[in-house]
Structure 1
């Protein structure tokens, strides 16, 4: 798993999620590299720590306590939302940089956080997220691969699955924009034939992306903020979901930004937030 480095010169941050384990490494040169592992990759992380003997070892995420117990007190646990805010601040490009913004973390579920300089506060969230996409992909598409569901969605259109406002109001003087969603998956009960799998996948992304943005956008409007910053492993190689988030943000009068390497924000924040530790074999 990691490459050999000077012992003690490496800093490691680990975000132990319910679906994936994300690692950030910073060497003596200051360069950062990332590694993505599957769920419950405790043995691999412990092996890497023993090999590299990091100067800093920060853990965050739902599985941080369990991993820490395997490391005999050699790691520092960092609050998940603090880690995410700190990591996002590091990942924001110069063009995206701002002191105060809403950070939307799309993991298994979704959290919405207010980042105000170095202060990070969770405002709310939703159970909709990557876990929803994975579960509905398995239930509706017999598709167990998250990546394959994302690829299908990129080729489909939700119009044959969702009921739109124009399907209810045929009058051009309808009270709402015609291509807005009236009911997610609402067409399914009105047609005899099942829609293409690609369209079903696209509708899953629309269900998640639209509702996540509406929830985050409500917080933004309440606080007088004009931008949403998105990150998280659910966005990895998922252009269909990114397109939905961008479109709905625009409809709400908000700007959508996407963190490069945003799935590693928590790991990077854990690395940056943890104090130096003495890690011994």
Structure 2
């Protein structure tokens, strides 16, 4: 019997977390454009079920749930950090200080030191950028297809590296670093590029901007570990590889949680389980 549900209503996806009768954590997601489907799923349970609700579009979902009296809204940042702490323990990580980078439609970056946390940075570059740029440049709208095709592409003839600028001369910084995302694209028309290469380069742009900002925050806060979370990373090995490699290159430790898109929903669930 399900007694409580945690819901994170994001700009693109609505994530749901609950414990089944055997105390196994169950995770689901729905498109946020179809909130009536989410409400129908919830109302299939008894009306007195405990609901923890968070996320940017939580107020919209609440309009579908007026009959539910046991509904509590949580500040998104608080719910996300609570979920991250739960997941870190579940994945056997023992550190207490970390930069938390939440890659949703945009990206929000937090400092976690023990039990204290605060938002320290953010950027409009995120999953919305990945989907939007991919659609505009290739006509492909589906996330799974973008990920699949990007894994087959190469950024080598679209991005401009530091070494490309110096033409074999000694570079003042690592020549393998990206000097300009899409910097070589002007040398040949876009229609002559393969969709795979373009999508790989979009992933590179998103990954490098987010990891660069996260690394700068980690240095400023004197923190080693950067925990990358968010639905944009789910089953997105190319993006995880870009972010992970760049973070390691800059002498910081990247952490990718097992269920990296569900931290907010898990935190919202825990608020009802723990009686907070």
**Do the structures match in fold with TM over 0.5?**
yes
Alpha-carbon distance in structure 1 between the residues aligned to 2:162 and 2:113? 38
| 1:187, distance to aligned residue in structure 2 (A) | 0.5
Does 1:21 find its partner at 2:14? yes
Residues 235 and 78 of structure 1, relative CA distance in 2, 3 Å threshold: same
Alpha-carbon distance in structure 1 between the residues aligned to 2:5 and 2:222? 36
Which has the larger displacement, 43-52 or 164-173? 43-52
Task: Summarize the alignment of residues 1-281 of structure 1 with structure 2, pairs less than 5 Å apart.
Answer: 6=1, 9-53=2-46, 55-72=49-66, 73-92=69-88, 93-191=90-188, 194-274=192-272
Alpha-carbon distance in structure 1 between the residues aligned to 2:83 and 2:56? 17
| 1:94, distance to aligned residue in structure 2 (A) | 4.7
Alpha-carbon distance in structure 2 between the residues aligned to 1:164 and 1:255? 24
Look up the SS of the partner of 1:263 in the other structure.
Answer: coil
Which has the larger displacement, 74-83 or 52-61? 52-61
Look up the SS of the partner of 2:184 in the other structure.
Answer: helix
Alpha-carbon distance in structure 1 between the residues aligned to 2:175 and 2:117? 38
CA-based RMSD of the aligned residues comes to 1.8
Look up the SS of the partner of 1:174 in the other structure.
Answer: coil
- Contact 1:155/1:198 (8 A) holds in 2: yes
Tell me the number of residue pairs that the alignment of Structure 1 and Structure 2 aligns: 270
| 1:191, distance to aligned residue in structure 2 (A) | 2.7
Deviating beyond 4 angstroms after TM superposition, the runs of 4 or more aligned structure 1 residues are: none
- Contact 1:68/1:74 (8 A) holds in 2: no
Cα deviations across residues 201-246 of structure 1 (Å, max 9, x unaligned)? Answer: 1110110110101111111101110110011110112111001101
- Contact 2:49/2:70 (8 A) holds in 1: no
Look up the SS of the partner of 1:203 in the other structure.
Answer: helix
- Contact 1:96/1:257 (8 A) holds in 2: no
Residues 176 and 76 of structure 1, relative CA distance in 2, 3 Å threshold: same
TM-score, scaled to structure 1 = 0.90
| 1:95, distance to aligned residue in structure 2 (A) | 3.8
Which has the larger displacement, 248-257 or 45-54? 45-54
Q: Which residue of 2 aligns with 1:3?
A: none
Alpha-carbon distance in structure 2 between the residues aligned to 1:40 and 1:74? 24
| 1:117, distance to aligned residue in structure 2 (A) | 3.1
| 1:90, distance to aligned residue in structure 2 (A) | 1.0
